[in-house]
């Protein structure tokens, strides 16, 4: 046994460097901005790099900057960048660091373990679980934890609670799939978050480090110009992707099974809920599974034009990009506080300490909306659209990001 163990250990030692180099090529983009005249230092960004890799494929890495980001968006305005705002935002972060004179190495967040030596870096941004290790190996670097979820403990408990509710209500117990690791909040100098004042409270003693960023929608198109509000106010949208239990699709479906005169259109990539609710949907006829659609598609535009609002009973988010997108198109949000929107001083969130209470409140709020006069619905739609366009814009993201960078790195003239 010891001989076999020794052989395996030697084999692993030989293969590890080869695997690491191969993985780094797939998951990283390095020396971005190296051709710039101004040199401030070296930065490590551990975040979503799909967009970064696309941009660097279009242009020479040594001169990659904000203009290249914008050109890449124009080239792919309905493809990669229209699926999630993280793609544009990760590129905007790197672009801003380059403007400040940094040479940037970018690694996909789940690949942070591949960066074994963080000592060359003057600035480190992490979005996953590498900060504690990197901080122990490099105490001098300025460190920013980029929080795209709620606090990890709240997040994990919330998902487990939703699974427990489903098990008790329907006898179905899917395994958790969105549990996140303990993140290096204590080891960071500052922490960005995307949510509302309720989200901030989750961070306990780390609240003093929190700085808000205003996230963007994936697609910046215009909403439908005309809407038949009398017809639309009897139709609602659920717009998500996967993780149907975590994002409360089961609660929304339960509510609409009790609202046969109202219609629900489900846009998402996760079909597993049909194994639980498929027969009910078929019998009821008022709930329609559309499947995955992007905001830039004509199909999604058509759904927006004939629905009054979006219903989203998520257990935990940073701030839901899909809800921000829907507000940009003028849909009225019926959402939980945990969705992360900052509109609840004006517009109440869904309430309920149990699944049955939440289902009842979804039902009540949808019924109230469909009984609202058309002109009031139009005013509400306009208010949410204006709120989203004023706060959830690329300019707002850049402004809030630069405020954080100025505090952490010091005010700096942008490199030209």
Q: Where are the domains of the chain?
A: 26-146+184-214+394-409, 229-391
What is the Cα–Cα distance from 229 to 282, expressed in whole angstroms? 27
Specify whether the CB–CB gap between 230 and 370 falls below 8 A: no
Identify the pLDDT of residue 48: 77
pLDDT interval class at 416 (50, 70, 90): very low
Residue 83 has pLDDT above 70, yes or no: no
DSSP string, 115-183: ----TT-SEEEESSS-HHHHHHH-SSSEEEEE--SS-HHHHHHHHHHHHHHHHHHHS--PPP-------
Identify the pLDDT of residue 3: 56
In the CATH hierarchy, which fold is given to the domain comprising 26-146+184-214+394-409?
Rossmann fold (3.40.50)
pLDDT average, residue stretch 359-385: 97
Domain 229-391 has CATH 3.40.50.2000: yes
26-146+184-214+394-409 and 229-391 share one CATH topology? Answer: yes
pLDDT average, residue stretch 31-54: 80
Sign of CA dihedral 147, 50, 395, 313: negative
pLDDT by residue (tens digit) across 275-298?
999 999 999 999 999 999 988 889
Q: What dihedral angle (degrees, nearest 10) is formed by the CA atoms of 318, 252, 389, 92? A: 40
Residue 415 has pLDDT above 50, yes or no: no
Global pTM reads 0.90
204: left (phi over 0), alpha (psi -120 to 50) or beta: left
């Amino acid at each position: 046994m010891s001989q076999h163990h020794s052989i395996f250990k030697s084999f692993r030692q030989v293969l590890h460097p080869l695997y690491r180099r191969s993985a780094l090529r797939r998951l990283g983009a390095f020396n971005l901005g190296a051709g710039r005249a101004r040199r401030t230092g070296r930065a490590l960004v551990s975040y979503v790099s799909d967009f970064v890799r696309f941009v660097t494929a279009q242009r020479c890495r040594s001169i990659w900057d904000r203009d290249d980001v914008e050109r890449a968006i124009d080239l792919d305005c309905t493809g990669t960048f229209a699926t999630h705002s993280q793609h544009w935002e990760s590129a905007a972060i790197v672009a801003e660091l380059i403007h400040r004179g940094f040479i940037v190495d970018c690694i996909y967040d789940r690949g942070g373990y591949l960066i074994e030596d963080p000592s060359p870096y003057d600035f480190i941004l992490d979005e996953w679980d590498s900060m504690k290790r990197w901080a122990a190996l490099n105490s001098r670097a300025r460190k920013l934890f980029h929080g795209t979820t709620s606090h990890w403990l709240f997040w994990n408990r919330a998902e487990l609670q939703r699974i427990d509710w489903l098990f008790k209500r329907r006898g179905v117990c899917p395994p958790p799939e969105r549990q996140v690791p303990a993140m290096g909040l204590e080891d960071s100098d500052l922490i960005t978050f995307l949510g509302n004042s309720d989200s901030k409270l989750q961070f306990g003693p780390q609240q003093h480090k929190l700085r808000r960023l205003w996230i963007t929608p994936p697609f910046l198109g215009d909403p439908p110009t005309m809407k038949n509000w009398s017809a639309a106010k009897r139709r609602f949208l659920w717009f998500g992707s996967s993780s149907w239990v975590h994002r409360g699709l089961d609660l929304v479906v339960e509510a609409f099974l009790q609202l046969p005169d109202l219609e629900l259109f489900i846009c998402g990539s996760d079909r597993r809920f049909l194994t639980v609710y498929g027969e009910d949907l078929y019998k009821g006829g008022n709930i329609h599974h559309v499947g995955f659609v992007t905001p830039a598609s004509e199909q999604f535009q058509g759904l927006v034009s004939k629905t009054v609002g979006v219903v989203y009973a998520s257990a935990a988010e940073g701030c839901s990009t899909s809800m921000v997108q829907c507000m940009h198109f003028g849909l009225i949000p019926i959402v939980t506080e945990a969705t992360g929107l900052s509109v609840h001083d004006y517009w109440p969130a869904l309430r309920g300490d149990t699944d049955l209470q939440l289902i009842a409140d979804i039902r009540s709020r949808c019924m109230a909306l469909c009984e609202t006069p058309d002109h009031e619905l139009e005013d509400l739609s306009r208010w949410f659209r204006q709120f989203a366009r004023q706060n959830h814009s690329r300019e707002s993201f850049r402004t809030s990001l630069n405020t954080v960078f100025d505090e952490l790195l010091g005010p700096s003239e942008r490199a030209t």
